[in-house]
C-alpha cells in the first residue's frame, strides 16, 4: 500500500468510528487526560490509530509501541505525523519487542492501556510514583494480572469482560469477518453448502449465524452438552461428531482447544472439503499431522494462502492459511469490522477516563468494565446510529438522501 493509499484507509476508518469521533469532539473541550501520559503496547493499525488520536485529543501524551508481528509501518508514520510517540517499529524479535515495552514504562505513564498484561507486569518489576491504573484488553491479560492483584492494588478495567465486547465483537463481528474471509479466499457460493462449526461460544455462534443467514445448512459440534442444546434450540443440526465431519463441505473450528481435527479425521472427509480455523491458536486443526499422514500423497499450494492435499484415494482437502486464524489471512485481511472495533475502543476510552477521574478505585483491580460505562457506550452507539438514519428517513426530499 502506498503512503497516500494508507492515509486514505486510515481516514476512512476514522470517519467510520463514529463513537470515537464524537468522543474526540467531547475530549477537545473536556480534556480528561490533561497533563497525563498514557502508555500502551497495542497492534498498530488504522483502528488503533483512531483510538490513540482520540486519547491525544483529550490532552494525553500518548507513548506507544506495537505488538509482535502486527505493526503496520504506515500506521506508525501516521501516528508520528500526528503527535503520538511511537517507540520502535515492526518487529518479530521477542527481545527487541521487550525493549520497546521497557521504553514505554520508562516514560512513567500515569495510565496504562495494556494488551496481554505486559506493561503492568513490567511496572511491578520497577514501580514508580504516579501510576493511577488503566485497562487490559484481553482475556489472557486478565488471567495474568488477576494473579498480581494484591501487588497492583489499583483500578484496572478488563475490556474483554464487557458484555458489549462479547456480543458486539466476538459474536457479531468475528462471525461476519470469518464469513467474509471464506468468500474472499475461496470465492465459493455458500447457498446450500453444508457447513460444520466446531465450538458454540460467542465466536462460534456468530460464525454459525452468518452462514445460516447465507443459506448454508449449518451443523454445530460442541463438547459441552449445554452448548449443544443451545445450538439445537437455536435451530442448528447437532448430529454426531462423525456425521458432522463426514457430511461437511466446509468445516470451521473456533474452540480455543488443541487437535479438534486431526489425521484420524482424514478418512471421514468429503472430497473437496474446505477446512479453516478461526480460533486464536493454529493448533485447532493439526495441519502438520494431517499433511504428513501416509494417506496424503501430495500437498500443493493453492490460491490465496490455501493449500490443497490429495489423498491416496483421489479425494482432495483444502486448508485455509495452514490452520492460522483465517480472518486475518489471505489478500486484504481486514479483521473485525470498523464499527465493532469502534464499540470496543469507546469502552477503552471511557474506562481510561474513569480511571483518570478516579471514578473507580483500588477495589476495582482487574474487574470487568463497570456497568455505568457499558450503559453509556451502548446508549451513545444506538443514538449515533439511529439519529442519522431517522433524519435521513424523515428527509422531505428523497433525492437529498
Ligand atoms: N478469529 C477471531 O477474530 C477471533 C476473535 C476473538 C476470539 N477468537 C478465538 O476464538 C476461539 C473461541 O472463542 P470463544 O469466545 O467463542 O470461546 P468460548 O470458550 O466461549 O467457546 C468455545 C466453545 O468450544 C467448545 N469446545 C472446546 N473444545 C471443543 C472440541 N474439541 N470440539 C468441539 N467443541 C469444543 C467449548 O465447549 C465452548 O463451547 C478462542 O480461541 C478465541 O481466542 C478469535
Nearest CA to ligand 1 atom 19: 201
pLDDT at 40: 98
Domains of the chain: 3-161+337-393 (3.40.50.1480), 170-328 (3.40.50.720)
**Planar angle of CA 198, 202, 206, nearest 5 degrees:** 75
Note the pLDDT tens digit of each residue in 204-231. 999 999 999 999 999 999 999 999 999 9
pLDDT at 143: 92
Nearest CA to ligand 1 atom 10: 279
Q: Can you tell me the distance from the alpha carbon of 298 to that of 292, in angstroms, rounded to the nearest whole number?
A: 10
What element of type H or E holds 342? helix 338-356
Pocket test residue of 173, 174, 256 for ligand 1, highest count of atoms within 8 A of CB: 256
Note the pLDDT tens digit of each residue in 285-314. 999 999 999 999 999 998 898 999 999 999
Cβ atoms of residues 6 and 74 within 8 Å: yes
- The percent of residues in the chain predicted with pLDDT above 70, rounded, is 96
Q: Name the β-bridge partners of 316.
A: 310
Note the pLDDT tens digit of each residue in 226-253. 999 999 999 999 999 999 999 999 999 9
| Average of per-residue pLDDT values in the chain | 93
What nine digits make up the cell of 144? Answer: 495474568
Is residue 133 predicted with pLDDT exceeding 60? yes
Q: How many angstroms does the Cα of residue 337 sit away from the middle of ligand 1?
A: 19
Pocket test residue of 205, 255, 257, 282 for ligand 1, highest count of atoms within 8 A of CB: 255
Question: What single string gives the DSSP state of each residue in 39-86?
Answer: EEE---SHHHHHHHHHHHHTTPEEEEE--TTT--HHHHHHHHHTT-EE
pLDDT at 393: 41
Q: How many angstroms does the Cα of residue 254 sit away from the middle of ligand 1?
A: 4
Radius of gyration of the chain (CA): 23
Amino acid at each position: 500500500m502506498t503512503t497516500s493509499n494508507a492515509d486514505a484507509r486510515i481516514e476512512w476508518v476514522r470517519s467510520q468510528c463514529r463513537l470515537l469521533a464524537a468522543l474526540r469532539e467531547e475530549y477537545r473541550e473536556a480534556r480528561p487526560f490533561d497533563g497525563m501520559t498514557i502508555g500502551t503496547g497495542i497492534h498498530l493499525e488504522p483502528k488503533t490509530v483512531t483510538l490513540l488520536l482520540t486519547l491525544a485529543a483529550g490532552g494525553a501524551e500518548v507513548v506507544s509501541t506495537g505488538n509482535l508481528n502486527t505493526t503496520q509501518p504506515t500506521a506508525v508514520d501516521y501516528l508520528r505525523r500526528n503527535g503520538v510517540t511511537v517507540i520502535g517499529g515492526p518487529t518479530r524479535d521477542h527481545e527487541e519487542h521487550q525493549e520497546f515495552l521497557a521504553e514505554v514504562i520508562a516514560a512513567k505513564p500515569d495510565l496504562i492501556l495494556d494488551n496481554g498484561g505486559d506493561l503492568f507486569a513490567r511496572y511491578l518489576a520497577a514501580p514508580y510514583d504516579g501510576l493511577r491504573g488503566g485497562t487490559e484488553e484481553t482475556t489472557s491479560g486478565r488471567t495474568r494480572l488477576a494473579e498480581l492483584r494484591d501487588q497492583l492494588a489499583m483500578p484496572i478495567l478488563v475490556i474483554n469482560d464487557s458484555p458489549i465486547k462479547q456480543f458486539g465483537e466476538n459474536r457479531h463481528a468475528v462471525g461476519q469477518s470469518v464469513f467474509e474471509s471464506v468468500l474472499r479466499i475461496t470465492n465459493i457460493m455458500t447457498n446450500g453448502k453444508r457447513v460444520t462449526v466446531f465450538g458454540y461460544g460467542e465466536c462460534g455462534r456468530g460464525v454459525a449465524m452468518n452462514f445460516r443467514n447465507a443459506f448454508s445448512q449449518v451443523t454445530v459440534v460442541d463438547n459441552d452438552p449445554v452448548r449443544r442444546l443451545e445450538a439445537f434450540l437455536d435451530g442448528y443440526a447437532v448430529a454426531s461428531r462423525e456425521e458432522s465431519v463426514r457430511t461437511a463441505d466446509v468445516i470451521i473450528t473456533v474452540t480455543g482447544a488443541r487437535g479438534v481435527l486431526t489425521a484420524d479425521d482424514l478418512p471421514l472427509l468429503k472430497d473437496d472439503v474446505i477446512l479453516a480455523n478461526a480460533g486464536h491458536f493454529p493448533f485447532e486443526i493439526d495441519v502438520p499431522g494431517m499433511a504428513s499422514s501416509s494417506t496424503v500423497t501430495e500437498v500443493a499450494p493453492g490460491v490465496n494462502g490455501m493449500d490443497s492435499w490429495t489423498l491416496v484415494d483421489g479425494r482432495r482437502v483444502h486448508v485455509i492459511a495452514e490452520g492460522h486464524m483465517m480472518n486475518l489471512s489471505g489478500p486484504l485481511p481486514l479483521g473485525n469490522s470498523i464499527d465493532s472495533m469502534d464499540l470496543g475502543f469507546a469502552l477503552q476510552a471511557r474506562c481510561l477516563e474513569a480511571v483518570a477521574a478516579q471514578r473507580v478505585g483500588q477495589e476495582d483491580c482487574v474487574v470487568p468494565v463497570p456497568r455505568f460505562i457499558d450503559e453509556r457506550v451502548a446508549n451513545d452507539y444506538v443514538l449515533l446510529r439511529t439519529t442519522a438514519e431517522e433524519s435521513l428517513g424523515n428527509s422531505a426530499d428523497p433525492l437529498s438522501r
